[in-house]
A and B are shown apart, each in its own frame.
Chain A
Amino acid sequence: MSQIQEVEASINELKHLFSPAAMTGETMVLNLGPQHPSTHGVLRLMLELDGEEVVTCVPDIGFLHTGIEKNMEYKSYLKALVMTDRMDYLNNMGNNLTYCLAVEKLCDISVPERATTLRIICAELQRIASHLIWLGTSGIDLNASSMLMYCVRERERILDLFELISGQRMMTSYIRPGGVWRDVQKEFISGVEDFLAYFPDKVADYERLLTNNPIFIGRTMDIAVIEPEKALEYGMSGSSLRGSGVNYDVRRAMPYCGYETYDFEVPVETGGDVYARYQVRIAEFYESMKIIRQAVDRLKKQNGPVTSEDRKFSPPPRSELHTSMESLIHHFKLWTEGFSAPDAEVYAATESPRGELGCYLVGDGGPKPRRVHFRTPSFLNLQALPYLSEGYLVADLIAAIGSIDIVLGDIDR
């Protein structure tokens, strides 16, 4: 008896989300997730179906809410950095970068040139790695299972490079306020060059497998279309927005790390469907490689420090600790209390593989932030999912989820 009452109560709670037809049994309400192989994590969707057609789609998020923003308020600026890695776990370097840019803006720290170049190389390698996972997993969703095997093989090479410079494959925490953790070995540079020589062929392979594949085109062309005005209204950004023909890229609109001095294109497609978003991301592979190539050339010519010399913010090298009293004091101060930031607020944004990733940071004059908030692209892109899927089939909904490239860690934090 009590169970029936419970069910009734939950039905009454959710009734307003669906059309009246769902209550009479004319349409069916189906629960998808949070454990479902195609939702790219722990996303739950409540679907109202008329036959196989999606009438309403209600996303339910929060299954991965980790309280990262709150945790960061209780850590010094340096220690809070490790939290950012774990937010959008396919874009670890990019999260580090966004947070560091915000801290640097707040405290007015200047970053050496070599560090900036290294940051760009890392961020672009990360973009390639993230797009590879997107291509692999959304390939699986569309029954192109071999894509994942190929994509992960290439991604491992990038992870090896990250491990070389930071000691960790994924949670690198390599980019730090004031620069990067430490200088790279020469093997890293030759490794990146090897990768650049090896990777274009592989992208061509992917394209041979998918771009003109009639099954793939059938599953993606004219599916989950969104017009540019609608996409902007929903606050979409990144490749998903550029697939609708809006030329907006933070690297161009609000350049950071000197992206304005690099020569690259922003790929834009006008289809607005799943296929267009696929084309944009494939083109971004080539553009990222172009940027890395230029950055490596610059890196070879640049010498000098990779982290700020301002000892109030960046720790001294270990070798100095035994000989210099000042270094010892700075080291002790930075690792116990941390540096203080002014009572002010800043916003810094970068182009993550998913779109505009912003960090809103408020200092309170002390060594811990008063508020850290991330404007995460997946959260806003997900909002468009009901619009993208309504009126299409359930199978198309799966393609639509893949095409907006959401990461649940990025949505829930």
Chain B
Amino acid sequence: MGLEQKAGDLGVVTARLEDVVNWGRTSAMWPMLFGLACCAIEMIATQSSNYDASRFGMELMRPSPRQSDLMIVAGRVTRKMAPVVRRLYDQMPEPKWVIAMGDCASCSGVFNNYALVQGVDEIVPVDVYIAGCPPRPEALLNGFMTLHEKVKKEKLATWS
């Protein structure tokens, strides 16, 4: 429909490779199906009927890290869980991104104690932090859009 009408019989479209690849990367970014605590419930809400993350090409949550591009750390990361989170991150293929969802994942929130890793950025690199305890689904969607903007600006030289 739309594209054929607009492009007419041009047959050729020129674009920068960066733009095309980054457009592709943002349009089908599959998150890992991986919840830790309370924030995961809001992540489920974001994925479900009312907020519908599939508008962002993110409805397909992969239970396996091998098939996912994005890790949403939804909840508090305990010291016992930290090695697992790191291993999951290592198992994801490049390119990969991380969203720290909620106060606990960003800085351990209201729990400043012996049991928690004080922010998941101590163990994995984080691209986007989302504040809130828990963040509303809208906030998570905003986090997705922020990440997309970041990815769209990536340069050929920074691709890995």
Binding site for B on A (CB under 8 A): 34-37, 41-42, 62-68, 70-71, 82-83, 86, 89-90, 133, 136-137, 148-150, 152-153, 155-156, 159, 169-171, 408-409, 412
Contact = CB atoms under 8 A, between A and B. Distances in A.
Nearest to A92: B38
Interface of B: 33-38, 40-42, 44-45, 48-50, 63, 65, 75-76, 78, 80-81, 84, 88, 110-111, 113-116, 133-134, 136
Given A152-B50, A156-B45, A42 B134 contact: no
A153 B114 contact: no
Given A64-B76, A66-B111, A153 B133 contact: no
Given A64-B76, A171-B134, 6 more contacts: A64-B37, A64-B75, A65-B80, A67-B116, A133-B44, A137-B44
Nearest to B91: A35
Contacts of A155: 45
B50 A409 contact: no
11 contacts: A35-B34, A37-B33, A62-B78, A65-B78, A66-B76, A66-B115, A89-B38, A153-B48, A153-B49, A153-B50, A169-B42
Contacts of B38: 86, 89, 170-171, 409
Contact of A35 (B45, B88, B111): B88
Contacts of B80: 62-63, 65
A169 B38 CA distance: 12
Contacts of B88: 35
B36 A42 contact: yes
A294 B99 CA distance: 45
Contacts of B65: 35
A170 B134 contact: yes
A148 B48 contact: yes
Contacts of A41: 35-37, 40
Nearest to A137: B44
A339 to B, nearest CB: 21
Contacts of A150: 49
A225 to B, nearest CB: 29
A149 B49 contact: yes
Contacts of B49: 149-150, 152-153
A404 B103 CA distance: 30
Contacts of B81: 34, 42, 63-64
A155 B110 CA distance: 26
Nearest to A170: B134
A34 B80 CA distance: 11
A352 to B, nearest CB: 15
A68 B37 CA distance: 13
A37 B80 CA distance: 19
B124 to A, nearest CB: 14
A154 to B, nearest CB: 10
Nearest to B39: A89
B94 to A, nearest CB: 20
A35 B78 CA distance: 14
A153 B44 CA distance: 11
Contact of B84 (A35, A37, A68, A148): A35
Contacts of A89: 37-38, 41
A377 B134 CA distance: 24
Contacts of B37: 41, 64, 66, 86, 89, 408-409
Given A42-B81, A65-B115, A150-B49, A133 B41 contact: yes
Nearest to B115: A67
A35 B71 CA distance: 12
A207 B115 CA distance: 42
A170 B41 CA distance: 9
A149 B48 contact: yes
A236 to B, nearest CB: 24
Nearest to A87: B38
Contacts of A42: 36, 81
A66 B116 contact: yes
B67 to A, nearest CB: 13
Contact of A152 (B35, B45, B78): B45
A156 B50 contact: yes
Contact of A68 (B42, B63, B111): B111
Contact of B63 (A36, A90, A156): A36
Contacts of A169: 42, 134, 136
Contacts of B116: 66-67
A64 B78 contact: yes
A67 B36 CA distance: 15
A196 to B, nearest CB: 20
B44 A148 contact: yes
A150 B35 CA distance: 20
Contacts of B45: 152, 155-156, 159
Contacts of B78: 62-66, 412
B111 A67 contact: yes
Contacts of B48: 136, 148-149, 152-153
Closest 8 CB pairs of A and B: A89-B38, A152-B48, A67-B115, A67-B113, A153-B49, A37-B63, A149-B49, A63-B81
Which of A66, A67, A169 has the most chain B CB within a 10 Å cutoff?
A66
A170 B132 CA distance: 11
